[in-house]
Amino acid sequence: MTGCATVRGARVTGGPGPTGVREVTVCQGKIAAHCPHPGHTVVDADGLWAAPGLVDIHVHGAAGHDFGDPDPAAWLRILDTHQHAGTTTVLATLASDTPDRMRAATETAAALITTGQAPGLAGVHWEGPALAPAMVGAHAPAHLRQPGEVLKELSPPPAALRMVTLAPELPGAHALTAHLTAHHVVVSAGHSAASPAELAAAQIRGLSHVAHLWSGQSALTRPRLHRLPGLLEAALASDGLSAEVIADGQHLPDQLLRIAWRCLGADRICLISDATAGAELRAGARFATGASTGIVHPDGYATTADETAFCGATAPLAEGLRRMWKATGAPVEDVITMATATPARTAGLYPRKGSLHLGADGDLVLLDPGLRVRAVLASGRWVLPLPGGAHAVDLRVVLVGAGHRARTTYLPWLATPPPNTGTRARPVAVLDPDPTALTTALAALPQGQPVLTARPEALDQVLAVTRPDLLIVASPDATHTPHVLTALAHGVSVLVEKPLTTTVVDAARILAAEQQAAGRARVLVAHNLRFTALHTRVRRLLTDGAIGTVTGGHFDYTLNPGHGLAYFSRWHRRRADSGGLEITKAVHHLDLLAWWLDTAPTAVTARTRRVFWPAGTPGVPPDADIDDSIHALVEYGPVPVHYSLTASSPTAGYTCTLHGTRGRATVTYNAHHGDPAIRLQFTDPARAETTEVLAREEGRHGGADARMLAALPAAVLGSGPGFATALEAAHAVTTGATLTQAAASGHRLPVPDPRDSP
């Protein structure tokens, strides 16, 4: 039902003014200054982007249906599928087919438009049949026709026809181009071997657009000495042509997306989906597009049945929008323009479509900070509502490392994500060097969903194929850095297990890569101790000044013998793999103290020894080279904290005492039993000491893991606090590394800023 709605708190782009936080009102299906009708819905979209509904001028189908089928029910199913993905306006694109079928499909469009059954249908785009045989791609060669024949078929053009893609070098193409443009039909060059001169001649006759760059186009050749540009280079070098880009992550690598962006800019790039009936289908499914047959591959792309060419795409336009943003680093406003205003202008639909100007159709999408579609308003009707302010979406996750941490924490979460987060975690790939670990991981995940498996060195290819939203790095500590760098290069956010890495140099590399990602991807670090109720309560007490200004403290952490021995029997035993307990374990506590004190460490004095698990101990391999006893004075600015870690003790847990100008706080935590407690004592004799006992939380690490994973989707989407940043985690690594150096030198050493590391 067409209704009225006001969206508040969103960052609005595509309207008459500059981008900014303001209201957008839709009244009776149109963008309006206000709505006088009582009872219209008000949506709180704080933290989201509000943009015009996406406009796709080159889309063939979805969900097993093709626009070449004249059945109106099939068309409505396609339109509904794309609307739910954020595309509110389409040009139904017909691949080369028989004259009768192309005419019948065009008549279906006219009927749906005339009766108002499909308000998102703006017309028809004929991709063919006047195409170059050498550039046919997925089109059926038997159904190609000469421009003169097509001219007869389109005299006059049907009212629903808005665009025709043809090869301008074919005999008779100039006459067809002039005829179509005289009837206000946009003419596009595509599936063509045209030279720059032939393209220029077509422009004189009205051609204004170029179909899918790099697909079905002549390009640079060198028949002898001289290099000759083709249609592709002529389009990129042109002054006025608009051009289509398929940014689905399959057709074009990121480098080509960046070239298109730099050559043409937002006002001349039309992002398109080129989606076929294969969109939304499972791997192995076959589908028809025009007179051709396509097949969906396990990696998510579609080809012709003989696998000689792509058969359109399987991703919606919104996926291309996100990919273009991540690949180019273009401003969000510009990428949205490529999927809204520019294609609408190209098709002659602007500003009724592709804008939020007053009087425009009430088409609107709400996008989260990662540019995922969260809600869709089409002609004033919520086709994808925002229940409770957060519509559930899939968070595509790749996991690197299928060892103990993954089996106990991340795989269960991926199998049964926490409820009420607004986002579903969907595993798309698991990487591990151990085939047995991969088999175990797959068995733990929901059956029926395609999940790729590979060795970690294939991560670059896996990210390119799966296009995830998040990479979880749960591999051994020393392997973290290359995985994080690879993800950031792909514009994929990362949750990396603590420690962030094992060296100061690698920490600096990660920080530099995150900065270069320029907000397109972020690094979250699983310092899970931040998430327990105990630790958040301590932070609140210190922030509120419960003991005044902190002046110093003691933090004594112990492992029971079984846990201590584990560090000397697993891969952690080798300093090259873990950084020693100073990094693989102590960073937990060094980060916690920095978080509580809101100050990065500045200097360390330390002594470390191997006392409890010497060489020759049963169960300890001979290559173990880490220490098991750490005693240090860590200076957090003006606040000295005595820190100790003992890898064999009757108890497991810690006691932390913090002294302040008005009292003392003592925190006790036993890792295996009992309730944690916070004891406050005050220098003011009038204030009685208090002991706050917090109920022990269920789950691993005192409930920390469950809380962390519940917060993860919002953090990936850019709206959730709590996680340690890459910089904070880098400070912890740098402190641990300096602790090792200080123990070796016997001197007090400054803790370097990881951002300053060469």
pLDDT digits (tens, 9 = 90+) for 316-335: 999 999 999 988 989 999 99
pLDDT for residue 395 is more than 90: no
Q: What would the pLDDT profile of 533-570 be if each residue is shown by its tens digit?
A: 999 999 999 999 999 999 999 999 999 999 999 999 99
- Mean of all residue pLDDT scores within the chain: 92
Closest CA to 85 of 388, 313, 309: 313
Q: Grade residue 393 by pLDDT with cuts at 50, 70 and 90.
A: low
Task: Taking the CA atoms of 326, 330, 331 and 336 in sequence, report the sign of the dihedral they define.
Answer: negative
Each residue's pLDDT tens digit, 709-730: 988 887 887 655 679 999 999 9
Which structure tokens are listed for 317? 């336009």
Question: Would the pLDDT of 292 be above 80?
Answer: no
pLDDT band at 389 (very low <50, low <70, confident <90, very high): very low
Round to whole Å and give the CA distance between 287 and 350.
33
1-51+355-391: CATH homologous superfamily? Urease, subunit C, domain 1 (2.30.40.10)
Stronger pLDDT, 699 or 294, i.e. the higher one: 294
Amino acid 3: pLDDT: 64
What local confidence, expressed as pLDDT, does residue 46 receive? 81
Q: What is the pLDDT of residue 419?
A: 54
Interatomic CA distance for residues 312 and 274, integer angstroms: 5
Structurally, at CATH architecture level, domain 394-528 sits in 3-Layer(aba) Sandwich (3.40)
Percentage of the residues of the chain whose pLDDT score is greater than 90: 76
Question: Is the model's pLDDT at 166 over the cut of 60?
Answer: yes
What is the CATH topology of the domain spanning 54-353? TIM Barrel (3.20.20)
Q: Which among 212, 166, 126 has a CA at the least distance from the CA of 175?
A: 166
Half-sphere exposure of 678 (CA within 13 A, CB side): 20
Asked if the model's pLDDT at residue 114 lies above 80, the reply is yes
Lowest mean pLDDT, pick from 367-371, 593-597, 656-660: 367-371
Query: Do the strands 54-59 and 49-52 form a parallel or antiparallel pair, or are they unpaired?
Result: unpaired
- What letter does residue 396 receive in the DSSP assignment? E
pLDDT class of 68 with cuts at 50, 70, 90: very high
Q: For the segment 585-597, what is each residue's pLDDT rounded down to a tens digit?
A: 999 999 999 999 9
Q: State residue 385's pLDDT score.
A: 74
Element (H, E) at 358: none
Question: Distance between CA atoms of 73 and 87, rounded to whole angstroms?
Answer: 18
Residue 1 has pLDDT above 50, yes or no: no
Q: What strands, in cross-sheet order, belong to the sheet with 603-609? A: 690-693, 677-682, 663-670, 653-660, 550-558, 639-646, 629-636, 603-609, 749-750
Amino acid identity, position 151: L
Give the list of residues 6+ apart from residue 71 with CB closer than 8 angstroms, or none.
108
Instruction: Give the pLDDT confidence of 232-259 residue by residue, as tens digits.
Output: 999 999 999 999 999 998 899 999 999 9
Contact 128, 96 (CB under 8 A): yes
Indicate whether this model's pTM tops 0.75: no
DSSP conformation class of 282:
P
Sorted by sequence, the CB contacts under 8 Å of residue 343 that are 6+ apart come out as 55, 56, 57, 270, 271, 272, 354
* Cross-sheet strand order for the sheet of 41-44: 30-32, 24-27, 5-8, 41-44
Q: What is the CATH number of domain 530-756?
A: 3.30.360.10
Q: What is the pLDDT of residue 279?
A: 86
Lowest mean pLDDT among 60-74, 369-383, 582-596, 644-658: 369-383
Look up residue 592 and give its two tokens: 């916690």
Per-residue pLDDT reduced to its tens digit, 596-605: 999 999 999 9
Summarised one tens digit per residue, pLDDT across range 301-317 is 788 877 878 888 888 99
| DSSP 8-state assignment for residue 754 | G
Q: What is the pLDDT of residue 423?
A: 64
Half-sphere exposure of 496 (CA within 13 A, CB side): 34
The pLDDT value given to residue 391: 42
CB 289 within 8 A of CB 277: yes
Report yes or no: 170 and 132 within 8 Å, Cβ to Cβ.
yes
| Residue 719, pLDDT score | 57
**Strand order from edge to edge, sheet including 121-127:** 54-59, 87-95, 121-127, 161-166, 186-189, 209-210, 242-246, 269-272
Check if the beta carbon of residue 434 is closer than 8 Å to that of residue 463: no
pLDDT higher at 703 or 180: 180
Backbone angles phi, psi at 480, to 5 degrees: -60, -45
CA distance 729 to 528: 12
**Strand, coil or helix: 483:** helix
The arithmetic mean of pLDDT across residues 418-428, rounded, is: 68
| 3-class DSSP state of 360 | coil
The domain spans of the chain are: 1-51+355-391, 54-353, 394-528, 530-756
The pLDDT score that the predictor gives to residue 420 is 47
Same fold, 54-353 and 530-756: no
pLDDT at 698: 78
Of residues 591, 593, 597, the one with CA closest to residue 731:
591
Residue 549: per-residue pLDDT = 97
Q: Looking at residue 15, what DSSP letter applies? A: S
